[in-house]
Structure 1
């Protein structure tokens, strides 16, 4: 899997001129453009953990393999500036694609946005990892800073198929207990679900001193509800659940509910000092990142 399978040469060219800076102290050890809470430098052994796809084979502890017949990794304090983990939603609602998004579903857009960010971070020698989820965690690739790590991330992104229901709050609470080292968390999701539980899980991340960016990916159809005439709507998370209705009778109530949902999410993110970036699937990924990073740098 190559980055050109996700991004065009034009988009790659635009990404080369961008830069992600950490706003707060991160758990990196190398001196560089991000502040670190540590003084000095260390690559001391930290702990063992079970091998997952994407780990460097040379870090396998073969002595433990000989005793247990299982693969374990010797984990060290990493020589990196910024430690970023991307949380990519692969629930059923992300399958939606409208007529104005050139056939691109929200999930396909999310994976390309994640690929753009991974390419950008690894290009500036930072560490990036990936978590895919729906109503549970599906894949975890630990953050690494080697350029070859991009292939593992792209392979996982291309292999995910959106399905199942969404349990953002529950999944993020579980992840908060597993992500021990503070860093940058990038959530790429439509954020559909229980907003109160989602905001509580964000607060859990913030309590652990993570910085959070949320790219809320929506299809243009979900933003302005353009449907006319009797239309059949079917659930992408609950197969078999469908209903034919007159959109004209629903539009006002839908738009009010959507506005309430977006305002509640925006207010909650502001209270927790989280950057919320609304995105629609008819916008180019590189342009989304360029505009956000420009505003981010100005606010720093």
Structure 2
């Protein structure tokens, strides 16, 4: 066995060791939401009432709604709304910057992103939808939950602090969820949203940050260094940088909000010190759940 293959196997075994805990946490989180199927706004197989229509040749006596028909001289059929398995694609950033946490008591941004991605996938799958990770074909069914969990648990860490989803994986009329800290160069977001809008792809951006990245509580002499170590800044007055940092963060969020709105998408935020349920509910609702 080659050294590369041995390293890959060792990494896979180490990563998959946390798979049961990820699945269990995601199942508990997903259980908080009761999924519903999405209607197509036309008659067809489904459970929800769509409309009454006059009976026509070929309709059986069992299909006639006799109670409605008794109120007129005509016979009416109770149509149901057609429902179809929709396709949703989920991407959770694997940038090295997602490995940050400001306190040992909090999860890393990567752990929280993976939890939300898997829980959302579970909810959508239970609603009969097709779900996949970015770059993989969306599928339906119970086995897809296992595929999502394994894909997230074995996701290779990017070689840089920030990464981006594959632009070429976008397909017409899908719904896409991108979960990241969005602290890197935002140029790719504009390109991605423009491509998505052109294909009729709707979706949501969820920015996941550690509380320290939200409030910048640092003071005194601090050496700031990215997780990859490629970027660093040494200061003797960290508190003096707070106002400028918070202004830059607000500008970044405004940029993401305007970009999302322009493409017909949604932008939301979540910090790792808060329970993930609210973020999951928001994602489900903006996707049309």
Query: TM-score, normalised to structure 2's length?
Result: 0.70
- Name which one, 1 or 2, has greater alpha-carbon Rg: 2
For the Cα contact (< 8 Å) 1:232–1:244, is it kept in 2?
yes
For the Cα contact (< 8 Å) 2:91–2:177, is it kept in 1?
yes
Unaligned runs of 5+ in 2: 1-18, 49-82
1:224 aligns with 2:227: no
For the Cα contact (< 8 Å) 2:106–2:273, is it kept in 1?
no
2:110 is aligned, of 107, 112, 135, to 107
Deviation at 1:2, TM superposition (A): 4.6
Distance 1:271 1:240, change over 3 A: closer
| RMSD between superposed Cα atoms in Å | 3.0
1:7 aligns with 2:25: yes
Q: C-alpha distance in 2, partners of 1:33/1:94?
A: 42
User: Which residue is 1:117 aligned to?
Assistant: 120
User: Which residue is 1:268 aligned to?
Assistant: 259
Deviation at 1:92, TM superposition (A): 1.1
2:90 is aligned, of 66, 86, 90, to 86
SS of structure 2 residue aligned to 1:7: helix
1:251 is aligned, of 229, 242, 251, to 242
SS of structure 2 residue aligned to 1:144: coil
User: Which residue is 1:152 aligned to?
Assistant: 147
Q: C-alpha distance in 1, partners of 2:91/2:26?
A: 23
For the Cα contact (< 8 Å) 1:85–1:184, is it kept in 2?
yes
After TM superposition, list the pairs within 5 Å mapping 1:166-205 onto structure 2: 166-168=162-164, 171-172=165-166, 174-175=167-168, 178-205=169-196
Deviation at 1:285, TM superposition (A): 2.1
Q: C-alpha distance in 1, partners of 2:255/2:148?
A: 32
1:288 is aligned, of 254, 279, 285, to 279
1:207 aligns with 2:210: no
Unaligned runs of 5+ in 1: 35-78, 132-139
Deviation at 1:212, TM superposition (A): 1.4
User: Which residue is 2:62 aligned to?
Assistant: none
SS of structure 1 residue aligned to 2:218: coil
Deviation at 1:291, TM superposition (A): 4.3
Q: C-alpha distance in 1, partners of 2:197/2:212?
A: 32
Q: C-alpha distance in 2, partners of 1:242/1:114?
A: 30
Query: TM-score, normalised to structure 1's length?
Result: 0.68
Distance 1:32 1:244, change over 3 A: farther
For the Cα contact (< 8 Å) 1:96–1:219, is it kept in 2?
yes
